[in-house]
């Protein structure tokens, strides 16, 4: 479903991704772990098409289509969803209004009929209930006054409503307590994996992965995938941290692409 080959990218002319190659089939959840500054969020932003993140080499196909030639809104309409590490607040616009406009914009782009107000409210209430969220919270301005956990749970409601083909989730576990972690993990499984869709989940911790049970765990270091495995790899990282030859990870890439301390 998502195939990344030798992806290089820069931010403000600084190389961040240095040859990422990754394949996430439909119906699978893959997790990305790695130290701060290794390029995890940059990878998500590049795939979503955020301005200022420039691809200098490599290619990405999504559902058989060249993803990199599409504008951000076209990627969203094609079924790509980005869950933010820090969901933004939008004062003055209710979450319900925001979600309905987002959904109908995507439906129009696919030549589908818009959802009526009544049908949309029913859908929103159903998704909020499944995420154990008070639907009345969706009447409030987008994320205004929400706790960190509420923002992430609301974002899962958004994902359930939009029903994307593939989700890029950037530290969705940030700010979640034990119960919310379980609810969000179950939501990822229900909305995405159980319907044959794909997920690339960025996280620092193994705790969410115990609920999601990813098919593969990848380690991103200095802009490259350096290790891949199953959830046992995540548990090892939780115990030992990011190490090379028994030493704590503290490497960066030189201009020539070689690793140094």
Q: Write the secondary structure of 111-175 as one string of H (helix), E (strand) and C (coil).
A: CCCCCCHHHHHHHHHHHHHHCCCCHHHHHCEECCCCCHHHHHHHHHHHHHHHCCCEEEEECCCCC
pLDDT for res 249: 44
Q: What residue segments make up the domains of the chain, in order of their start? A: 2-92+164-260
Q: Which of 28-37, 91-100, 118-127, 241-250 has the lowest mean pLDDT?
A: 241-250
- CA–chain centroid gap for 226, Å, is 20
The mean per-residue pLDDT over the stretch 94-99 comes to 92
Residue 246 has pLDDT above 70, yes or no: no
9: left (phi over 0), alpha (psi -120 to 50) or beta: beta
Question: CB neighbours (10 Å) of residue 127?
Answer: 23
119 Cβ contact list (under 8 Å, min separation 6): none
How far apart CA 229 and CA 217 sit, in angstroms, is 5
Question: CB neighbours (10 Å) of residue 166?
Answer: 23
Q: What percent of the chain has pLDDT over 70?
A: 93
pLDDT for res 238: 85
Confidence of residue 14 (pLDDT cuts 50, 70, 90): very high
pLDDT for res 32: 95
Q: How far lies 163's CA from each of 59, 124, 215, 219, 223, in Å?
A: 25, 12, 21, 28, 30
Confidence of residue 206 (pLDDT cuts 50, 70, 90): confident
pTM of the model: 0.85
pLDDT for res 172: 83
How far apart CA 174 and CA 166 sit, in angstroms, is 20
pLDDT for res 181: 86
The mean per-residue pLDDT over the stretch 197-212 comes to 89
How far apart CA 249 and CA 241 sit, in angstroms, is 8
Q: What percent of the chain has pLDDT over 90?
A: 58
The mean per-residue pLDDT over the stretch 117-142 comes to 91
pLDDT for res 204: 84
Contact 133, 158 (CB under 8 A): no
pLDDT for res 233: 92
For residue 58, the SS3 value is strand
pLDDT for res 152: 85
The mean per-residue pLDDT over the stretch 151-172 comes to 91
Nearest CA among 176, 182, 173, 181 for reference residue 201: 173
The answer regarding whether domain 2-92+164-260 maps to CATH 3.90.650.10 reads no
Confidence of residue 254 (pLDDT cuts 50, 70, 90): very low
Contact 88, 155 (CB under 8 A): no
Tokens of 237: 């990282």
Contact 77, 165 (CB under 8 A): no
228 Cβ contact list (under 8 Å, min separation 6): 216, 217, 218, 219
The mean per-residue pLDDT over the stretch 70-91 comes to 91
Nearest CA among 47, 52, 51 for reference residue 68: 47
Confidence of residue 51 (pLDDT cuts 50, 70, 90): very high
């Amino acid at each position: 479903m998502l195939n990344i080959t030798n992806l290089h990218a820069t931010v403000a002319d600084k190389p961040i991704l240095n040859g990422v190659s990754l394949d996430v089939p439909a119906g699978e959840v893959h997790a990305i772990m790695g130290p701060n500054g290794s390029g995890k969020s940059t990878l998500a932003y590049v795939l979503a098409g955020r301005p200022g993140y420039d691809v200098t080499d490599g290619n990405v196909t999504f559902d058989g289509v060249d993803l990199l030639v599409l504008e951000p809104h076209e990627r969203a309409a094609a079924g790509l969803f980005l869950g933010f590490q820090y969901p933004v607040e939008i004062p003055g616009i209710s979450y319900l209004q925001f979600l309905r406009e987002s959904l109908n914009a995507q439906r129009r782009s696919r030549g589908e009929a818009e959802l009526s107000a009544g049908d949309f409210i029913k859908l929103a209430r159903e998704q909020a209930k499944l995420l154990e969220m008070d639907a009345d919270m969706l009447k409030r301005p987008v994320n205004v006054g929400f706790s960190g956990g509420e923002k992430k749970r609301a974002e899962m409601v958004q994902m359930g409503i939009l029903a994307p083909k593939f989700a890029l989730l950037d530290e969705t576990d940030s700010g979640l307590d034990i119960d919310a972690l379980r609810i969000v993990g179950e939501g990822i499984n229900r909305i995405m994996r159980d319907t044959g869709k794909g997920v690339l989940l960025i996280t620092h911790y193994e705790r969410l992965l115990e609920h999601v049970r990813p098919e593969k765990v990848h380690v991103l270091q200095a802009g490259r995938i350096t290790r891949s495995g199953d959830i046992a790899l995540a548990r090892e990282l939780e115990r030992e941290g990011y190490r090379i030859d028994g030493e704590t990870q503290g490497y960066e890439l030189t201009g020539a692409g070689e690793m140094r301390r």
